[in-house]
């Protein structure tokens, strides 16, 4: 699980990278929660997403947005962070030119950045969006959403109540050509304290279903 240093628009980007098991292994980019709320790439949910992809043979990268950890720069309200994510995905794709699939997974603020990245990278095959802050940011840019994926939230989420996520999911489900899976985990809060096993099961089941449909 080597440390990597990427060069972004604001300087150094600190990351952790796990190479794929084969030359054609799919790639996955993991995006962490809000930097101003203490978010970083070693947050338990981000680490769990990282391991779930890694265990399935993906070439997997998680990194710190600008101004977090050893990444240089300052918080840029999502604009610079999207640029950081694009830089990280560029690096993943360059390092794995024969990758069979491309996935983006994010938690909280990372889910918001991940969905924006998705719109700019139509080659993306799938996404995982955990606790997406659909009431704090405008998700109307998902028009149309270019890939199928999973939205996961908790029934006890008071930061972004499930009804706010359902509003986005309902809209996306009217599109043809993609399938949006949506799960609400009973009693789970926004930060998944004591409910990490539920994240593991839901994301694992979804990934295994998608990989069975399109083997790597």
What's the pLDDT at 215? Answer: 84
> In this predicted model, what pLDDT tens digit does every residue of 56-93 receive, in sequence order?
999 999 999 999 999 999 999 999 999 999 999 999 99
Residue 35 near residue 61, CB atoms below 8 Å: no
For 110-115, what is the mean pLDDT?
98
Residue 96 near residue 24, CB atoms below 8 Å: no
**Mean of the per-residue pLDDT values of the chain:** 97
Q: What's the number of domains the chain is made of?
A: 1
- pLDDT > 90: percent of the chain: 96
Query: Which domain does 10 fall in, by range?
Result: 3-213
CATH number at residue 153: 3.40.50.1820
Confidence of residue 113 (pLDDT cuts 50, 70, 90): very high
With b for 16 or more beta-carbon neighbours within 10 A and e for fewer, the 169-208 pattern comes to beebeeeeeeebbbbbbeebbbbbeebeebbeebbeebbe
Looking at 144-195, list the stretches that DSSP marks H as alpha helix, in order from N- to C-terminal side: 162-172
What's the pLDDT at 1? Answer: 61
């Amino acid at each position: 699980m080597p440390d990597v240093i990427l060069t972004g628009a604001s300087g150094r980007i600190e990351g952790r990278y796990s190479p794929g098991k084969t030359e054609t292994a799919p790639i996955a980019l993991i995006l962490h929660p809000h930097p101003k709320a203490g978010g970083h790439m070693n947050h338990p949910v981000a680490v769990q997403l990282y391991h779930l992809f890694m265990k399935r043979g993906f070439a997997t990268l998680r990194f710190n947005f600008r101004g977090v950890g050893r990444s240089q720069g300052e918080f840029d309200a999502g604009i610079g962070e999207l640029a950081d994510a694009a830089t990280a995905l560029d690096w993943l794709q360059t390092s794995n030119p024969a990758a069979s699939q491309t996935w983006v997974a994010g938690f909280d603020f990372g889910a918001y950045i991940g969905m924006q990245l998705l719109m700019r990278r139509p080659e993306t095959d799938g996404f995982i969006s955990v606790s997406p802050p659909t009431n704090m940011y405008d998700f109307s840019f998902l028009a149309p959403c270019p890939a199928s994926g999973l939205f996961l939230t908790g029934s006890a989420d008071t930061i972004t109540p499930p009804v706010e996520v359902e509003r986005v999911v309902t809209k996306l489900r009217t599109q043809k050509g993609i399938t949006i899976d949506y799960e609400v985990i009973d009693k789970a809060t926004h930060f998944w304290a004591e409910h990490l096993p539920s994240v593991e099961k839901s994301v694992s089941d979804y990934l295994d279903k998608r990989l069975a449909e399109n083997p790597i």
